[in-house]
Homo-oligomer: A and B are copies of this chain.
Amino acid sequence: MKQVSQRPVLAVDLGGTKIVAAVVTPTGKILPRSSCLTLADKGPAAVIDRLISVAGSAVDRAKLKTADLDGVAIAAAGILDTARGVVTTSPNLPGWRNVHLRDIVAERLNVATCLVNDASVAALGEHRFGVGKGLANLIYLTVSTGIGGGIIVDGKLYEGTDGCAGELGHMVIDAQGPKCNCGNYGCLEVLASGTAMAKEAVSRIRNGGASLMVQLVGGVLDDITAETVATAAREGDLLACQVVNQCAAYLGVGLANLVNIFNPQLIIIGGGVSRMGGMLLRPARKVVKEKAFRLPARTVQIVKSRLGYDAGILGAAAYVHEQKLKETTR
């Protein structure tokens, strides 16, 4: 591994809702963040303008100039061709098709830049600074609007040939299942994400089920989110508990697959839905014990993310620091 550099880097998280940027020191200290709304519907050019502006503001807040940085890492969801620095497609960024984001940002900021999947860098963040510190291999799964993944093998981020490995949310676990945003059927994401949870709750209520959730959203069923489900379940709402259990069972099937495939030391569950904690993880772990082979099921620990949102920022910074500047442009 390349020697860890001694200069700070800028980490930018390009999400479907927000863009967050922060300078990170080589020891993993996150300096004050800047953020703005993504306004993804304005299209790529407008989003990139906002990204450049929020990046500049984060560098200013760190009292630095871009010339002081070792590099910039942009973490984004979607199918990224990291070798070429291209967003080929992204579910949360409608209209983005083969956007050469890395080179555009590198040119506008005049700093070496790399582009990397958000869940992959979150895996790296948890490995370098979080609950997976020092382990040889682990799997990270972010469960929120969608489901993303990151794979650490031999202490290193596994990116695959083009840099788009780890699309664990688009592992088909129920070939006869419902259609997923990716166009395929029965993906883990369409069965166990936060979106899936909310959808299942609404469907059960529309089919006549009684639930506290109706009150929680003032009767506007479309306002039900995974958080609504979690709140109701914590109050003992039966329908909400059934929904959580169903999604946890599917999550367990996906996790059992990962256990049989990777025989990992650790699986880390991050993303907004992971805040449900034991309510989600306990039934999912039970399914893993039932469905995966005994030896790898006994070995694996399945835990909540320790760093939460910071995993991505810290991982993006680590990515630049450790290995990737050689593959970037200036």
Contacts and interface: CB of A to CB of B under 8 A. Distances in A.
Interface of A: 79, 81, 88-89, 136-137, 149, 151, 153-154, 156, 158-168, 170-177, 182-184, 186, 250, 253, 256-257, 260-265, 291, 293-296, 299-300
B137 A160 contact: yes
B293 A170 contact: yes
A165 B89 contact: no
Contact of A263 (B165, B260, B265): B165
B172 A264 contact: no
B171 A174 contact: no
Contact of A295 (B154, B162, B184, B186): B162
Given A162-B295, A164-B293, A253 B79 contact: no
Given A161-B264, A173-B173, A175-B174, A79 B294 contact: yes
A319 B300 CA distance: 25
Contacts of A256: 172, 184
Given A88-B295, A173-B173, A291-B184, A167 B260 contact: yes
A277 to B, nearest CB: 24
Contact of A160 (B177, B263, B291): B263
Given A160-B137, A176-B176, A88 B264 contact: no
Copies in the assembly, this chain: 2
B160 A250 contact: no
B293 A182 contact: yes
21 contacts: A79-B294, A136-B161, A153-B153, A154-B156, A160-B296, A161-B265, A162-B296, A162-B299, A163-B263, A164-B263, A164-B293, A164-B295, A165-B296, A167-B260, A171-B257, A172-B291, A173-B175, A174-B176, A175-B250, A175-B253, A182-B293
Nearest to A165: B263
A154 to B, nearest CB: 7
A170 B296 CA distance: 13
Most chain B CB neighbours (cut-off 10 Å) among A163, A164, A177, A257: A257
Nearest to A78: B293
Contacts of A299: 161-162
Contacts of A149: 261
A172 B250 CA distance: 11
A261 B167 contact: yes
Contact of A159 (B88, B161, B260, B263): B263
Contacts of A167: 260-261, 293, 296
Contacts of A89: 293-294
Contacts of A177: 175
A171 to B, nearest CB: 5
A174 B250 CA distance: 11
